[in-house]
Amino acid sequence: AIAGGILSTVQITAHRGSSKEAPENTMAAIKQAVADLSDYAEIDVQETKDGVVVLGHDSTLRRVAGVNRTIGSYTFEELQALDVGGWFSEDFKEEKIPTLEEVMEYCKGKINLNIEIKGAGDDSLLPEKVALLIDKYQMAEQCVVTSSRFTYLSRIKKLDEKIRTGYIVSAAYGNYYSSDDIDLISLQSSFVTERLVEAAHQKGKAVHAWTVNSKSEMERMKMLSVDNIITDYPVLAREIIYREEA
């Protein structure tokens, strides 16, 4: 896409890391995202019983560790006993649930992060903890914090307005376009239209689209000039984004 005469390219985010090549939300998936030359790795974060910020998508650990309990019901030390890679393949059975801090340490200078804060209720201190870690590692330029909870994003902005925030929405309505508390809209790709991208860009908001896994949907997102494609297949997305049009 040509924006203001400067050649601009759609960026690519590896969803939960490169999650078709390695188990989601593990160091292996993040390392794969770097190897795949993704611009960003998207990760989901939650809090352990003793307040450590760790990676994990679902409300329980049933799918990735075979235990029907929440991350929040374990202390960090207890969590370390769980294998969260074996469900994916034998090759990954040593994978442990990583902390956000260890992921940041690894990613600094290597890959941008989309840190999605999963909703844990208004009394959760997750937004404050995430902002503190971004500041500790001086990674504001390398991170975007996203959430489907608007109040979390407002709290991030209140702590450090330099941290970019993205509101995750699965439908395109509401007046969030105008809010100073968000820098980008993270939208389910089927709702992305030309009008919507234009409206967002007019308000100075970027558009990230998820979870774009088919070639045809990647091509549609490219045509619509979204700013970022969140995908389980970053290598395929790269092929399509960088393909010269005849």
Task: Report 7-36 residues binding ligand G3P (CB under 6 A).
Answer: 15
- Which pair of structure tokens corresponds to residue 51? 């307040």
Radius of gyration of the chain (CA): 18
Under 8 Å between Cβ of 163 and 143: yes
Is 15 a catalytic site residue?
yes
Query: Would you count residue 21 as binding Mg ion (CB under 5 A)?
Result: no
Residues 25-84 close enough to bind Mg ion by CB under 5 A: 44
Q: How far apart are CA 228 and CA 112, in angstroms?
A: 12
Contact 119, 155 (CB under 8 A): no
32 binds, among Mg ion, ligand G3P, none (CB under 5 to 8 A by kind): none
H or E stretch including 42?
strand 40-47
Question: How are beta strands 228-231 and 206-210 bridged, if at all?
Answer: parallel
Touching Mg ion, residues 100-119 (CB under 5 A) = 116
Is 220 or 246 the residue whose CB approaches ligand G3P more closely?
A: 220
From candidates 25, 48, 146, 189, binder to ligand G3P by CB under 6 A: 146
Told to check if 116 binds ligand G3P by CB under 6 A, we report yes
CA angle 44, 144, 181 (to 5 degrees): 110
Q: Give the one residue of 186, 189, 228, 231 binding ligand G3P; rule: CB under 6 A.
A: 186
Residue 156 three-state SS: helix
Give the 3-state secondary structure of residue 206.
Answer: strand
Residue count, binding to ligand G3P (CB under 6 A):
10
Q: Spot the catalytic one: 20, 57, 118, 164.
A: 57
Q: Which of 44, 95, 183, 227 binds ligand G3P (CB under 6 A)?
A: 44
Annotation marks residue 57 as catalytic: yes
Residues found near ligand G3P in the complex (CB under 6 A): 15, 42, 44, 57, 116, 146, 168, 186, 210, 230
Residues that bind Mg ion (CB under 5 A): 44, 116
